[in-house]
Amino acid sequence: MPVTPLFSGRPFEPEIIRDMSAAFVETCKSLGLKVGDDAATRLVAEKIIELAQRGMRGAENLKARALKEFNREEG
């Protein structure tokens, strides 16, 4: 499933959408989730969107913060 539709219709620049998409895929991978349309991956997408709306930028930053908020950190 392409992840870009999860972020479409939102007021983000294309570069930010690319970062959010990359963060989403990598966060799902770190959480052991298969990227698809289910409740768990929608929760990850909403968290990434929330973080970006709060001004966080960069795929790695978004991923790290999302993992932290899900009480998971990579070492």
Residue-wise pLDDT tens digits, 9-66 = 667 888 998 999 999 999 999 999 998 888 999 999 999 999 999 999 999 999 999 9
Q: What span, in angstroms and rounded, lies between the C-alpha atoms of 32 and 11?
A: 29
Nearest to residue 10, comparing CAs of 1, 19, 25? 19
- pTM comes to 0.83
Q: What span, in angstroms and rounded, lies between the C-alpha atoms of 43 and 50?
A: 10
Measured in residues, the chain has a length of 75
Residue 9's pLDDT is what?
A: 65
Retrieve residue 13's tokens.
């620049």
Residue 20's pLDDT is what?
A: 93
pLDDT above 90 (res 2): no
pLDDT above 80 (res 3): no
Residue 37's pLDDT is what?
A: 81
Angle at 30 between CA 28 and CA 32, to 5 degrees: 70
